[in-house]
């Protein structure tokens, strides 16, 4: 009798324990599904104006390396490195002794052919005047005289061309400045051999730069090329003058992307009358990027960047919905985004990867 009572009590205790466990599990399940309280903001469109800081390079507006046209020797140097020269100024004279004899020979041949042509022309003229009297000069003799005159004239023209060619080559013995600027390099000395071939052609005689006007060259990344146009103004600084702010305007756009950098080359003209800036300097360029219409702009912390992609989380009917987006321009704490979005969408301010699609949210 006592054994039956103990068995019944044991069964009752086991049943009560099972009921308690089920109830506790149900409470935990209910607690787990309780909506999470979260902070959100309403999505709005606004205009985002940003600035882009990029490195640039200052180069001379005009730069040329001057070489010798003919084989010769340096006779005199009129300028040196750092000399300021004007357009057409004589920089150097060269000498080529063999050209003097070539010029004399060409001049002598020219005078000889001039005399020959004068004689043949006079002969033709006399025969022509005589032929006006019938029966005095045969047609064949007149034709031979014409042919001789024309042949001598052709040889005379060839001699004149040869003489002019040597005179032109002799003019190359004077090296003159093609534009006004500063000699930034000199690579020869008196008596040095120079020319189109040989040791003298390894380096240019002079390097001439226009340093009063510079070009500022910047490579604009592909994402920002659509925001710049000719005439836009920007500022820049250089390391040697960190306290000074210089201005420049966009003058030339290449209109194509560099295949290696995927960037567009943009050039700005920089007046440099004071010569504070030097060709070759690296500049830090501040490029304002104006707003072209309104777009969706959100705080950067509202972005969920995962291995699967970039998302934002919005709340629809109290549940989480993941929306894939693409980034646009950005500032220190704001970001322009594009995706399937609408004005007034409730966006979670600080999303986390623990939040999942369909999760209940309490705003």
CATH of the domain at 330: 2.40.420.20
User: Residues 290-307: what's their mean pLDDT?
Assistant: 80
pLDDT at 137 over 90: no
Asked if the structure places residue 264 within a domain, the reply is: yes
Q: Is 269 helix (H, G, I), strand (E, B) or coil?
A: strand
Contact call for residues 331 and 53 (beta carbons, < 8 A):
no
Average the pLDDT over 25-30 and give the result: 45
Of 270, 289, 308, the domain-final residue: 289
The domain total for the chain is 4
- Where a domain ends, among 172, 200, 231? 172
Burial class (CB in 10 A: 0-12, 13-18, 19+), 211: buried
Same domain, 201 and 72: yes
DSSP-assigned beta bridge partners for residue 74 = 94
pLDDT in the model for residue 178: 95
What per-residue confidence (pLDDT) applies to 293? 62
Is there a domain that residue 83 lies in?
yes
Same domain? 228 vs 343 = no
Task: Write the burial class of residue 303 (CB in 10 Å: 0-12 exposed, 13-18 middle, 19+ buried).
Answer: middle
- 49 CB-near residues (< 8 Å, 6+ apart): 288, 289, 290, 291
Q: What is the CATH number of the domain that holds 148?
A: 1.10.287
Q: Which of 133, 136, 56, 43 is nearest to 344 (CA)?
A: 43
Residue 230 lies in a domain: yes
Model pLDDT, residue 26 = 47
Flag whether 71 is in a domain.
yes
Whether the per-residue pLDDT at 28 is higher than 60: the answer is no
- Rounded to an integer, what distance in angstroms lies between the CA atom of residue 206 and that of residue 177? 10
Residues 56 and 44 in one domain: no
Distance between CA atoms of 335 and 329, rounded to whole angstroms? 6
Cβ distance 220 to 268 under 8 Å? no
Six-digit token pair at 170?
């002799």
∠ at Cα 22 (16, 28), nearest 5°? 135
Determine the pLDDT at residue 291.
64
8 Å CB contact between 152 and 116: yes
Number of CB atoms found within 10 A of residue 302's CB: 20
Domain end point (choices 266, 289, 312): 289
pLDDT value of residue 356: 82
Instruction: Please tell me whether residues 240 and 131 are part of one structural domain.
Output: no
Q: How confident is the model at residue 127 (pLDDT cuts 50, 70, 90)?
A: confident
**Domain for residue 312, yes or no?**
yes
Which residue, among 205, 222, 204, has the nearest Cα to 262 in the 3D structure?
222
Q: Is the dihedral of CA 313, 314, 319, 324 positive or negative?
A: negative
Residues 203 and 80 in one domain: yes
Same domain, 235 and 133: no
- Where does the pLDDT of residue 292 fall: very low under 50, low under 70, confident under 90, or very high at 90 and above? low
Whether 325 maps to a domain, the answer reads yes
Phi, psi for 41 (deg, rounded to 5): -145, 160
Q: What are phi and psi of 191, to 5 degrees?
A: 85, -5
Domain of residue 273, CATH code? 2.40.30.170
> For residue 53, which of 288, 332, 333, 336 has the smallest C-alpha distance?
288
Least reliable range by pLDDT among 71-80, 146-155, 288-297, 336-345: 288-297
Query: What pLDDT sits at residue 13?
Result: 59
**195: CATH:** 2.40.50.100
161 has which bridge partners? Answer: none
Place of tokens 């705080």: 299
pLDDT at 170 over 60: yes
- pLDDT, one tens digit per residue, over 306-346 is 888 898 888 888 888 889 988 877 777 888 888 888 888 88
228 and 90 both lie in a single domain: no
Domain that holds residue 250: 52-62+211-289
CB 220 within 8 A of CB 228: yes
> CA end-to-end span of the chain, whole Å?
63
Pair (101, 205) in one structural domain: no
Kindly state whether residue 141 falls inside one of the protein's structural domains: yes
Name the most confidently modeled range: 7-16, 22-31, 293-302: 293-302
* Shared domain check, 228 and 337: no
State the helix-helix crossing angle for 97-130 and 139-171, rounded to 10 degrees.
160
> Cα(327)–Cα(335) distance, rounded to whole angstroms?
7
User: With b meaning 16 or more CB within 10 Å and e meaning fewer, what string describes 164-178?
Assistant: eebeebbeebebebe
Model confidence band, residue 6 (pLDDT cutoffs 50, 70, 90): low
Per residue in 175-232, pLDDT tens? 999 999 999 999 999 998 888 755 556 788 999 999 999 999 999 988 788 878 888 8
Q: Which of 100-114, 121-135, 289-303 has the highest mean pLDDT?
A: 100-114
Per-residue pLDDT of 236-286, as tens digits, reads 999 999 889 999 999 999 989 988 888 999 999 999 988 899 999 999 999
Taking only the tens place, the pLDDT of each residue in 220-246 is 988 788 878 888 888 999 999 988 999
Residues 85 and 181 placed together within one structural domain of the fold: yes
Q: 208 or 5, which is more confident? A: 208
Return the DSSP state at 232.
-
* Same-domain pairing of 324 and 356: yes
pLDDT band at 43 (very low <50, low <70, confident <90, very high): confident
**pLDDT for 337:** 86
State CA 112 to chain mean position distance. 58
Across the chain, mean pLDDT equals: 84
250 within 8 A of 228, measured Cβ to Cβ: yes
Residue 12 lies in a domain: no
Question: In this predicted model, what pLDDT tens digit does every residue of 66-111 receive, in sequence order?
Answer: 998 888 899 999 999 999 999 999 999 999 888 888 888 999 999 9
Q: How far apart, in whole angstroms, are the C-alpha atoms of residue 341 and residue 354?
A: 22
Q: Which residue has the tokens 């509202």?
A: 302
| Whether residues 68 and 203 fall in one domain | yes
């Amino acid at each position: 009798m006592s054994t039956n009572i103990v068995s019944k009590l044991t069964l009752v205790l086991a049943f009560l324990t099972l009921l308690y466990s089920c109830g506790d599990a149900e409470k935990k399940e209910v607690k787990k599904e309780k909506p999470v309280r979260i902070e959100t903001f309403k999505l709005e469109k606004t205009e985002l104006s940003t600035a882009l800081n990029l490195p640039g390079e200052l180069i001379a507006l005009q730069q040329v390396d001057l070489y010798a046209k003919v084989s010769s020797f340096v006779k005199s140097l009129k300028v040196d490195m750092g000399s300021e020269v004007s357009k057409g100024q004589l920089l150097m004279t060269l000498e080529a002794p063999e050209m003097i004899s070539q010029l004399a020979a060409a001049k002598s041949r020219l005078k000889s052919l001039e005399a020959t042509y004068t004689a043949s022309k006079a002969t033709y003229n006399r025969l022509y005047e005589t032929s006006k009297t019938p029966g005095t000069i045969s047609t064949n003799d007149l034709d031979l005289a014409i042919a001789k005159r024309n042949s001598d004239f052709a040889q005379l023209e060839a001699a004149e061309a040869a003489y002019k060619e040597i005179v032109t080559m002799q003019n190359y013995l004077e090296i003159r400045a093609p534009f006004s600027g500063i000699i930034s390099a000199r690579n020869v000395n008196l008596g040095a051999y120079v020319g189109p071939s040989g040791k003298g052609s390894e380096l240019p005689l002079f390097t001439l730069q226009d340093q009063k006007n510079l070009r500022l060259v910047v490579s604009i990344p592909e994402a920002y090329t659509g925001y710049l146009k000719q005439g836009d103004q920007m500022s820049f600084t250089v390391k040697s003058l960190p306290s000074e702010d210089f201005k420049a305007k966009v003058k030339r756009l290449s209109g194509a992307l560099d295949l290696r950098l995927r960037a567009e080359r943009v050039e700005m003209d920089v007046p440099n009358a004071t010569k504070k800036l030097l060709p070759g300097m690296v500049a830090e360029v501040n490029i304002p990027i104006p707003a072209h219409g309104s777009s969706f702009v959100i705080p950067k912390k509202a972005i969920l960047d995962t291995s699967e992609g970039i998302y934002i989380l919005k709340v629809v009917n109290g549940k989480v919905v993941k929306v894939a987006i693409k980034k646009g321009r950005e500032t220190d704490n704001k970001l322009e985004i594009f995706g399937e979005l609408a004005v007034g969408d409730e966006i979670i301010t600080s999303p986390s990867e623990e939040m999942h699609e369909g999760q209940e949210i309490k705003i």
